[in-house]
Amino acid sequence: MPLTLLLRLLHAKFPVMLTTDADIRNASVLLATGLVEAEFHHDHFGYQQYESALVFGITDEGHAEIVNLQAGGATVAAEDQQWPLMPLDYLRKIGHSVFPLHIEDPAEINSVAVLNAAGMVEAMLPPTCRARQPQLKFKQAVVLRVTPLGQTALVERRM
């Protein structure tokens, strides 16, 4: 769980290198939601898979989320929060698009990065950068396709 990783990072000495697939995935979610500052390093085999994540620190928003978790999650009313577009919602939004799809919005690029790390899309991402760098550094991501795993996530579930 990403929030479990966030709590684990609370007492860590930064920077922290993460190398397990689960930690890298969770760190990408934390970066996409603005809770940590991190960089991701690709493998050198041409597969565009993350080999490691280097977490530089917890953002102010991350510390606020930790306080919220420690207070039982009831400190802010849900209607007062402005939630970013979640990666699975973004996958539904682009699921039937014509590819390649060029993305320039930083929040959408973060969603693409999370979906790419989860194996739900294949994408070319801009060089990773720290969360506090100017938004102009994000540039553009290109979604090449939705993978079979991503297509499975798009299938309507019957109850």
What pLDDT score was predicted for residue 130?
47
Digit-coded pLDDT (tens) for 77-114:
444 444 556 788 888 899 888 999 999 888 888 888 88
Q: What is the mean pLDDT of the chain?
A: 78
Residue 71: DSSP 8-state: T
Q: What's the token pair of residue 130?
A: 């720290």
What pLDDT score was predicted for residue 131?
45
The fold adopted by the segment(s) 1-82 is: Arc Repressor Mutant, subunit A (1.10.10)
Domain edges within the chain: 1-82, 84-159
What pLDDT score was predicted for residue 109?
84
Backbone angles phi, psi at 151, to 5 degrees: -60, -40
Mean pLDDT, residues 58-73 taken together:
80
Q: What stretch of H or E contains 24? A: helix 21-32
Mean pLDDT, residues 110-137 taken together:
72
Q: What stretch of H or E contains 55? A: strand 50-58
What pLDDT score was predicted for residue 149?
85
The CA-to-CA distance between both ends of the chain, in Å, stands at 25
User: 3 with 69: CB under 8 angstroms?
Assistant: yes
Residue 32 confidence (pLDDT) above 60 = yes
CA-closest candidate to residue 108, choices 130, 91, 129: 91
Instruction: Note if the pTM is more than 0.75.
Output: no
User: 103 with 109: CB under 8 angstroms?
Assistant: yes
- How sure is the predictor about 136, in pLDDT bands with cuts at 50, 70 and 90? very low
Whole-number Å distance between alpha carbons of 20 and 26? 10
Furthest-apart CA atoms within the chain: distance in Å: 46
Q: What's the token pair of residue 141?
A: 């991501």
Residue 132 confidence (pLDDT) above 70 = no
